[in-house]
Chain A
Amino acid sequence: MIKFSDKQLAIPKLMRPVYLVTAGQSKFDRAFPDKRTEELCVDALVQAAEMINLSPAELKSYIHTCYYGHFADHFGDQLLGESVIHDRLGLDPLGNIGVKTGGATGGSTLWEAVKAVASGYSDCVLAMGWERMDEVPTDEGNFYISCAADKDWEGPLGHIYTGYYAVMAQKYWKVFGKEEESFRRTLAEISVKHHGYARMNPYAQAPMKITVEDVLNSPVVAYPLRALDCCVMSVGAACAIICDEATAMKLTKNTKNKPLRIWVTAGSHTLRPADRRDMEIPLLPNESADQYKDLAKKFPGGERYPGFTGFLAARMAAYYAYNQVGIKDPTEDLDVIELHDAFTISDVQTYEDIGIRPYGYGRDYVESGDCYHTNPKTGKPGRLPSNLSGGLIGCMHSVGATGIMQVFEIALQIWNRWAEVHGDDKIWKKFNRQKPADWTDLQVKDAKRALAISHAGVGSHVTCTILQNPDHLIKKDA
């Protein structure tokens, strides 16, 4: 049993308020044979400028420091790829640095950007992320991804990251899912939901109108996970502009973007799941120790925490974030969220890690209809809609960009600009994508607070981003 000190569990504090001012993203797709990465990054930055009625040159004139999220150098076959992008964006001689934390790279890039502003070092920071995963065939791509696992202890075992991850999915399936057919269908429902929401998103790579049966009949990747349970492999870029209060107000004057307060926290856990040791469950504000006393009795095999069924890094990121901004209950206090649905089952695991449901009961978030924009059971708005972008399963997983895309999506909800950005016929046409006849506005009415989880592979890094309308802060002094 390992323990953490009070100092390690101290709640983070920003030195001054930090704001998300604008953001942008490129089209996302499996491959862009006709575009260099810098072209996608320019697309993202140009959109961020347009969102606040500035020219790119005007916006650039405010930027003081740049953080670049780009995970897999070897995919692009270019070390210091960040410097290439920095130069092509014309941002010399500003200081810049690359950030790499696997699948959480986008979230971690924002984490660094927020701290740079909070500390007073910079008043305006660019956080830009991208990934180039189309320049090797799939087998070689799987090999490259597996290089994120321990090269001596895991890599030689098939060079397939899915295998290192999926042993945890299998354990969750056994212990908390109880291998029930009904749970298997719930997982499939997540895929249907996310591919379905992706249909309303012109940026999304994998829009599909599918059924639970389609998911259950898709090829097995690693039982019980099937092809349609898995996220896509993507190319694309996303960016965000993070500012102090004075700069935020100046940049957004007479625009549709109200500056949003932003906080980002982070947690970590062993790169090798094999190294996980037992500990007590760190509690979130809406939980009590009593509720987990008989967890192993209710769910035989669930004796270990986090064992192979939970993600400690996600729990810690949520622990820091909720206590920092005053969230008592995420379902009550938040209006919309984007989670890192690398696999349908990891989506469910995250519901528990971040306290949307207690450990063992994540599936209820889907089965209750709470996770939908419109609850299919009641026809009323979902209590806490998730992944309206389509998530990693339906929209994209362009690793370094993913966490930033998620934050752009939830910001659009609070800005009340979701329909403007997703429904514009010109964008559909520009991307050569067919806007569905039944296109639906997924704007969450009166959204004021939102969360995004950015997550690396087996849970080695996780960030939790909170956005709040500054007029509706839960805790004024956060």
Chain B
Amino acid sequence: MSQIGQVSVKNGQYKIKGDFHHLELGQPIRIADDNWRLIGITNPRQLTHMHSYGGESVFFESLSQGKLMATRCDNPKCETKGSIFQPFRIHCPECLSKMTPIDMTDIAKKTAKVHTFMVCERSGAFSLLDKPIKFINVEFDGVCTILMSYLAVGDPAFGMKVVPCFKRQDPTFTILDLCFVPEGTKVDQLPRGFSY
């Protein structure tokens, strides 16, 4: 009986348990209008990767706790000292010093607005989002970059004031645990599992 692959880290090593791949035979591909001549083979494959968030792990863990973390360069010798980055990045792109994680949840709640957006009617395989996907890029006061996320309620517009909400219940520990909704959205309108 198969068991979902699970991973933990102990003594600096990955410890794996369960199944990380499943066996399935390929099928022949034949040309229908050429007497069903063999032309190829399917190669089915299902496997599970392990991936480290490394120095960004605090960002993804914090989403499940209702916090939006950013980073700030505090290197006094850096020409862009004081810059706040969202997306959270570990090192300053100017001086490469390790930046300081900061909680910018309040800044986001007070100042987030839609810089640009896109309503996308399609998605790729493995997408967990409902279509259409309402991509939004969100700007924040005092932040030098513009975060990509999605609008979970209503329709996006340029300059629209939005607020973040977080998937505290059954978090996925991915960027999908963060979404935005128009300012003034009631709690009971938030997507399942999300709260302010």
Contact = CB atoms under 8 A, between A and B. Distances in A.
A332 interface: no
A143 B31 CA distance: 27
Interface string A110-143: 0000000000000000000000000000011111
A143 B125 CA distance: 5
A264 B115 CA distance: 34
Contacts, number: 138
B196 interface: no
Interface residues of A, number: 47
B39 A34 contact: yes
Contacts of B116: 167-168, 170-171, 174, 308
A163 B86 CA distance: 19
Interface stretch (B1-9, B129-137, B161-169, B183-191): B129-137
B176 A277 contact: no
Contacts of A84: none
Interface in A165-203: 166-171, 174
B137 A308 contact: yes
A15 interface: no
B120 A166 contact: yes
Contacts of B119: 222-223
A221 interface: yes
Contact of B137 (A161, A167, A174, A278): A167
A158 B120 contact: yes
Contacts of A277: 83, 144-145
Given A33-B31, A167-B117, A222-B119, A158 B148 contact: no
B147 to A, nearest CB: 6
Contacts of A3: 79
A276 B115 CA distance: 13
Interface string B22-44: 00000001010000000110010
A311 interface: no
B120 A163 contact: yes
B124 A159 contact: yes
B158 A174 contact: yes
Interface stretch (A149-157, A381-389, A430-438): A149-157
Q: Which of B29, B116, B137, B158 has the largest count of A CB atoms less than 10 A from its CB?
A: B116
Given A34-B31, A157-B129, A274 B174 contact: no
A167 to B, nearest CB: 5
Interface string A200-233: 0000000000000000000111110000000000
B58 interface: no
A206 B149 CA distance: 34
B127 interface: yes
Contacts of A221: 120-122
Contact of A274 (B29, B60, B94, B147): B147
Given A34-B39, A77-B43, A174-B158, A157 B133 contact: yes
A308 B117 CA distance: 11
Nearest to A144: B124
A301 B158 contact: yes
A153 B128 contact: no
B133 A158 contact: yes
A164 B127 CA distance: 14
29 contacts: A2-B80, A33-B31, A33-B40, A140-B125, A143-B125, A143-B126, A152-B56, A152-B174, A157-B129, A158-B127, A159-B124, A159-B125, A164-B135, A164-B148, A167-B135, A167-B136, A167-B148, A170-B116, A170-B117, A221-B120, A222-B118, A222-B119, A272-B87, A273-B137, A273-B146, A274-B86, A274-B87, A275-B87, A276-B146
Interface of A: 2-3, 33-34, 77, 139-146, 151-154, 156-164, 166-171, 174, 219-223, 272-278, 301, 308
Closest 3 pairs between A and B when the two form their complex, measured CB to CB: A159-B124, A142-B124, A143-B124
